[in-house]
């Protein structure tokens, strides 16, 4: 067992550079440690020191006490440290049991080393220890984390057929949820229905996992069929259905689900209300969205920042920026803090109404309050600069954002290319286009359209797009040649 753990820790510490001679390490990869980082380092060092001290005491502490300290390390997500400590403990002759084994296997699985977990499992079995349901649950979880879905299915079948252990709710949920997250939603649904006929009845959480997977895959009707099989669904499951219907634009079906909840005396939670607000906003029914928002308080709940973000975004997208601004100002008075999403929605709304100065003022306020801008913030403001023909300022702003750690994507460069083209700087636009592959980015059809829609000789660009593997449809072709006139256009269209 000691040799196995030594091999594991050698592998992981070499790959991740976790250890130093005193076990002190940085909790994050940043050069400047925050106060939280220092606390993390101190807590781990203190626990390591305590375990080493316990090893020198005679008689040694019980296996329960040692497992308890190892579990402290694991709860801090320092899995490699736990494995290394176990190696030291074995060298001191520390006692172990099945719970020790489970802690070690769990650590391996979180480090994406389920094979090492099985090695520890085999080593303990050879020494006469018997695995329990937690052992198999952990191995199943590790296989799914490693992407070994087929092996996880095989292990689950062996558990059932060979009666390796008595599966519990965690076992069933681990397999069902793992299959759903791996895109095997239909397999998960079939397994769910099969288990329903056995003594291993799936829990509501298992049903919720499959319903969630079906809804995310756009199979809401299948989710509804499955809902009928479940005896008692929770508010979480109903909220998943409400959210799925709202995202599909089927607000009527979402309202029907809400009515069913009331009939079953299941009170909607904040997630349910947020889904409805989003649904009404998507359809432009802002009065209904505000009505739902106001009803949150009357139901005994408090709107969260996500509720405010949804409403602000809805107002902005529907051209009601003043209403959005009123909601934006209300956030602080309710004891909530604006997030990056809140600022992004409001800035986007202001710039969309040509209130450029207000948008930039809000961006400065965002930085003053130490709400960190993200790539979406960058793209919103870049687009505003380009639309007002401030190309030089746009490039300066992009460099500033890069200095802050924001990496531009293909959308960012598409905005710049579009701005350059509209300013008539076609050569500069093409130069950026040609530099994209060296930045690890591949231009899409939209970027080509931005770069070339003002150029009369469109055919070479269509051919270039084809060579790069793009499927150029009729709409894209027409956009590229839209400005052409006379015989040139006729020739291109014939081709």
Q: What is the pLDDT of residue 177?
A: 92
pLDDT digits (tens, 9 = 90+) for 373-396: 999 999 999 999 998 899 999 999
pLDDT value, residue 3? 59
The reported pLDDT for the residue numbered 105 is: 92
Per-residue pLDDT, averaged over 89-101, amounts to 84
Residue 368: burial class (beta carbons within 10 Å; 0-12, 13-18, 19+): exposed
Q: What is the pLDDT of residues 293-311, one digit of tens each?
A: 999 988 889 999 999 999 9
Structure token digits, residue 246 = 């709202």
pTM (predicted TM-score): 0.59
In the block, tokens 């303990």 appear at: 124
**Domain with residues 132-233, CATH architecture:** Alpha Horseshoe (1.25)
Q: Which residue has the tokens 């087929």?
A: 150
Lowest mean pLDDT among 28-37, 142-151, 350-359: 28-37
pLDDT attached to residue 288: 94
Q: Copy the structure tokens of residue 352.
A: 């969309």
Q: Which residue has the higher pLDDT, 53 or 158?
A: 158
Which pLDDT value is given to residue 57? 73
Token pair 């008689």 is found at 59
Q: Which residue has the tokens 């057929």?
A: 161
Kindly tell me the burial class for residue 448, based on how many C-beta atoms sit within 10 Å of its own C-beta (0-12, 13-18, 19 or more).
Answer: buried
Per-residue pLDDT of 313-349, as tens digits, reads 999 999 999 999 999 999 999 999 999 999 999 999 9
Alpha-carbon distance of 380 to 383, in angstroms, equals 5
Q: Quick one: what percent of the chain has pLDDT higher than 90? A: 35
Band of the pLDDT at 63, cuts 50, 70, 90? confident
Indicate the average pLDDT of the chain.
80
Taking each helix axis from N to C terminus, what angle separates 149-161 and 169-181, rounded to the nearest 10 degrees? Answer: 150
**Whole-number pLDDT of residue 209:** 83
The structural domains of the chain, with segments of one domain joined by +, span 1-130, 132-233
Q: What is the mean pLDDT of residues 146-155?
A: 93
pLDDT in tens, 177-202: 999 999 898 899 889 888 888 888 88
pLDDT at 481 over 70: no
């Amino acid at each position: 067992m000691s040799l196995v753990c030594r091999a594991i820790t050698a592998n992981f510490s070499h790959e991740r550079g976790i250890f130093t001679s005193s076990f002190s390490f940085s909790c994050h990869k940043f050069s400047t440690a925050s106060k939280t980082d220092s606390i993390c380092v101190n807590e781990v060092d203190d626990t390591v020191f305590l375990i080493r001290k316990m090893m020198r005491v005679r008689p040694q502490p019980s296996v329960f006490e040692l497992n308890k300290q190892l579990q402290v390390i694991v709860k801090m997500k320092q899995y490699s440290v736990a494995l290394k400590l176990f190696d030291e403990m074995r060298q001191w002759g520390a006692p172990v049991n099945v719970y020790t084994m489970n802690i070690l296997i769990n650590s391996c699985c979180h480090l994406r080393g389920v094979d090492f977990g099985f090695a520890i499992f085999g080593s303990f079995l050879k020494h006469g220890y018997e695995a329990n349901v937690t052992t198999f649950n952990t191995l199943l979880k590790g296989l799914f984390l490693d992407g070994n879905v087929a092996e996880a299915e095989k292990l689950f079948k062996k558990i059932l057929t060979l009666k390796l252990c008595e599966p519990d709710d965690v076992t069933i949920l681990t397999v069902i949820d793992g299959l759903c997250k791996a895109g095997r939603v239909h397999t998960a649904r079939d397994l769910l229905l099969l288990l329903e006929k056995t003594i291993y009845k799936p829990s509501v959480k298992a049903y919720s996992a499959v319903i969630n997977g079906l809804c995310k895959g756009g199979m809401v009707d299948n989710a509804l069929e499955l809902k009928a099989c479940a005896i008692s669904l929770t508010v979480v499951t109903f909220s998943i259905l409400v959210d799925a219907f709202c995202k599909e634009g089927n607000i009527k079906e979402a309202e029907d689900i809400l009515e069913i909840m009331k009939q079953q005396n299941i009170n909607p939670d904040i997630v349910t209300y947020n889904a409805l607000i989003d649904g009404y906003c998507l359809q432009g029914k802002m009065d209904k969205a505000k009505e739902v928002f106001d009803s949150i308080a009357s139901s005994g709940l408090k709107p969260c920042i996500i509720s405010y973000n949804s409403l602000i975004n809805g107002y902005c997208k529907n051209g009601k920026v003043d209403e959005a601004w009123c909601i934006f100002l209300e956030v602080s008075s309710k004891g909530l803090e604006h997030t990056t999403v809140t600022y992004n929605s409001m800035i986007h709304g202001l710039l969309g109404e040509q209130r450029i100065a207000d948008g930039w003022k809000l961006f400065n306020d965002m930085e003053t309050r130490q709400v960190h801008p993200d790539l979406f913030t960058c793209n919103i403001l870049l687009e505003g600069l380009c639309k007002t023909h401030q190309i030089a300022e746009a490039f300066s702003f992009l460099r500033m954002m890069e200095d802050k750690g924001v990496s531009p994507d293909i959308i960012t460069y598409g905005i710049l290319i579009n701005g350059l083209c509209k300013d008539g700087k076609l050569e500069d636009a093409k130069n950026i286009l040609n530099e994209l592959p060296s930045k690890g980015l591949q231009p899409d059809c939209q970027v080509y359209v931005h770069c070339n829609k003002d150029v009369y000789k469109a055919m070479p660009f269509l051919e270039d797009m084809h060579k790069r593997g793009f499927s150029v449809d009729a709409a894209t072709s027409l956009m590229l040649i839209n400005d052409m006139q006379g015989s040139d256009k006729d020739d291109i269209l014939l081709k």
